[in-house]
């Protein structure tokens, strides 16, 4: 699933506008790649991140980063379909299940985490993804995640 991309598609405030999560819960700050079934997000891990402890991003932070990568993907899809200039209302999703979670190591503060998700299936309002996070190609975490989309 690894792609070599030099420049993010969007970053910072543009990313935050596409997520339902707001500070201090923002766990992605870049979108590196996006197509029909695959996306890559980025996160510069900062000391003030609420999921950082003892110099590292914690396990719940890795899981939330994966979930928000899926959320960013969905928000970016909405953004691409929008034509009238209205403010984007990011869709809200919930983690329904996590399967085969492996935490290889915890990422240190100051590192750039890249998280890749691949859409395995979409059935009604449920999306099944496979995900992996890494720093400079070194695996940090991987899992499958089932995400439920909240209906309006």
Contact 134, 117 (CB under 8 A): no
Higher per-residue pLDDT: 65 or 93: 65
Residue 110 lies in a domain: yes
Total of domains in the chain: 1
How far is Cα of residue 61 from the mean position of the Cα atoms in its chain? 11
Residue 2 has pLDDT above 60, yes or no: no
Residue 104 lies in a domain: yes
Residue 3 lies in a domain: no
Residue 21 lies in a domain: yes
What tokens were used for 101? 């979670």
Contacts 24+ apart (CB under 8 A), 8-12: 8/32, 8/42, 9/33, 9/34, 9/76, 10/76, 11/42
Residue 5 lies in a domain: no
Residue 83 has pLDDT above 80, yes or no: no
Span 95-139, pLDDT tens digits: 999 999 999 999 999 999 999 999 999 999 899 999 999 999 999
Residue 26 lies in a domain: yes
Span 22-75, pLDDT tens digits: 888 899 999 999 999 999 999 999 999 999 999 999 999 999 999 999 999 999
**What confidence score (pLDDT) does residue 1 get?**
46
Domain that holds residue 51: 10-149
Per-residue confidence band for 152, with pLDDT thresholds at 50, 70 and 90: low
Cis-peptide into 4, omega within 30 deg? no
CATH code, 27: 3.10.129.10
Per-residue confidence band for 21, with pLDDT thresholds at 50, 70 and 90: confident
Residue 78 lies in a domain: yes
Residue 1 lies in a domain: no
């Amino acid at each position: 699933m690894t792609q070599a991309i030099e420049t993010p598609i969007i970053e910072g405030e543009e990313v935050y506008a596409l997520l339902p999560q707001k500070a201090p819960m923002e766990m992605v700050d870049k979108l590196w790649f996006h197509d029909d079934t695959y996306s890559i997000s980025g996160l510069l891990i900062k000391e003030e991140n609420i999921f950082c402890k003892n110099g590292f991003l914690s396990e719940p932070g890795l899981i939330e980063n994966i979930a928000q990568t899926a959320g960013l993907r969905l928000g970016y899809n909405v953004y691409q379909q929008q034509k009238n200039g209205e403010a984007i209302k990011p869709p809200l999703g919930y983690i329904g299940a996590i399967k085969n979670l492996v935490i290889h190591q915890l990422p240190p503060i100051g590192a750039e985490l890249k998280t890749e998700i691949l859409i395995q299936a979409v059935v009604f309002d449920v999306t099944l993804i496979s995900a992996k996070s890494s720093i400079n190609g070194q695996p940090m975490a991987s899992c499958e995640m089932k995400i439920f989309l909240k209906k309006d």
